[in-house]
Amino acid sequence: MGLLYGLIAVGLALIFGLMDVVNFAHGEFLMIAMYVSFFLFTFFAIDPLLSAPLVAAALFVFGAVVYLLVVRFAMRAKANAGMVQIFSTFGLAIVMRGLAQFFFTPDYRSVPHSWLGGKTISIAGIFLPEPQLMGALVSILAFAGLYLFIHRTDFGRALEATREDPGAVALVGIDKNRVFALGWGLGAALVGLAGAIMASFFYIYPDVGASFALIAYVTVALGGFGSVFGAFAGGIIVGLVEATTALVLPPSLKSVGIYAVYLLVVFIRPRGLFGQM
């Protein structure tokens, strides 16, 4: 579960690291991904595991479009820049939730009998649910891929460079908007991956994103904004804390542990564990 949180969070971390914008519609991106995965299963009988790349591709396009239609303008605001970003992405989240309710109704849906759903595997006497295990595996691969991508490819370097000095980058002929749009697409694609995997073991409904979004913000902030590795580490910590809290407190209070650990960490290190500056 922790790695999955990490995967949800890493897209957010990427977008933030790229341009200092917190996407308050991140949970809704996840929700959309789960629905895409659900419909691919219902209409084309494609297992969520197989559709994950398709979902990621769809979300990539979606993320880039959102950047071009909304975020691009939010970043131009000179006054109250922080507020404009928060409220424009938040307004977007409300619209997306409304649209989901309109088209898909507020009903709870789930993907029945997927390949992995409900199966468990026994490793050294510990029973682990297969979907979660697969989620962890995909997350690790995605992290590794992202890490290599950022540090080894031209586009990755362009992302980093644009983050550091958008002005200078323009001088060498890199289109800032294109880089940012691709960055948003990439961030959204990662959530798409997470959503597709989660669709096989989670109920899908218009508000599902909200419950994960806050944990994703906490995960990113815990690791430190601007650090992809931080989001990975944050995810693992959040997963462990959640599991530990569940042993001590009633299930309804399990997130309290996560929140408390976040507060504790930022009080000691206001920049998060691996945050820069």
Partner 1 sequence: MDKHFTARRRRDLIIAAVLAGLAALAPLFIKDVYIQNILILTLMYAALSQSWNILSGYCGQISLGHALYFGIGAYTTELLFTKFGVLPWFGMLAGGAVAAVIAMGLGYPFFRLRGHYFVIATIVIAEIGLLLFQNWDWAGAAMGITVQVRGDSWLKFQFMRSKLPYFYFALALCCLAWFVTWWLEDSKWGFWWRAVKDNPEAAESLGVVVFNSKMGAAAVSAFLVAIGGAFYAQFLAYIDPESVMGFQFSLLMALPAVLGGIGTLWGPVLGATILIPMTELTRSYIGGSGRGVDLIVYGALIVAISLALPQGLVSLFSRAKAKGATR
Binding site for partner 1 (CB under 8 A): 16, 22, 70, 73-74, 77-84, 86-88, 90-102, 105-106, 206, 210, 214, 217-218, 221, 225, 250, 252-253, 255-256, 259-260, 262-263, 266-267, 270-272
Q: Whose Cβ is closer to partner 1: residue 67's or residue 262's?
A: 262
Q: Whose Cβ is closer to partner 1: residue 1's or residue 70's?
A: 70
Question: Would you list the DSSP string of 9-77?
Answer: HHHHHHHHHHHS---TTHHHHHHHHHHHHHHHHHHH---HHHHHHHHHHHHHHHHHHHIIIIIHHHTT-
Residue pair 74/206 in contact (Cβ under 8 Å)? The answer is no
Classify 249 as helix, strand or coil.
coil
Length of the chain: 277
Shortest distance in whole angstroms from residue 167 CB to partner 1: 22
Cβ neighbours of residue 29 under 8 Å, at least 6 residues apart?
11, 23, 59, 62, 63, 188, 191, 192, 195, 209
Shortest distance in whole angstroms from residue 75 CB to partner 1: 10
Q: Whose Cβ is closer to partner 1: residue 98's or residue 112's?
A: 98
Shortest distance in whole angstroms from residue 266 CB to partner 1: 6
Q: Whose Cβ is closer to partner 1: residue 44's or residue 87's?
A: 87
Shortest distance in whole angstroms from residue 86 CB to partner 1: 7
User: Dihedral, CA atoms, 262, 206, 188, 233, nearest 10 degrees?
Assistant: 20
Q: What is the largest CA-CA distance in the chain?
A: 60
Q: Whose Cβ is closer to partner 1: residue 11's or residue 48's?
A: 11
Q: Whose Cβ is closer to partner 1: residue 98's or residue 118's?
A: 98
Which residue stretches of 67-164 are H helix?
72-74, 81-104, 130-152, 154-164
Phi, psi for residue 78 in degrees, rounded to 5: -90, -40
Considering only CA atoms, give the Rg of the chain: 18
Shortest distance in whole angstroms from residue 220 CB to partner 1: 9
Shortest distance in whole angstroms from residue 116 CB to partner 1: 31
Classify 126 as helix, strand or coil.
strand
Shortest distance in whole angstroms from residue 62 CB to partner 1: 16
User: Dihedral, CA atoms, 110, 111, 112, 118, nearest 10 degrees?
Assistant: -90
Distinct helix (H) and strand (E) counts, the chain: 12, 2
Q: Whose Cβ is closer to partner 1: residue 41's or residue 67's?
A: 67
Euclidean distance between the first and the last CA atom of the chain, given in angstroms as a whole number = 30
Q: Whose Cβ is closer to partner 1: residue 56's or residue 221's?
A: 221
Shortest distance in whole angstroms from residue 185 CB to partner 1: 20
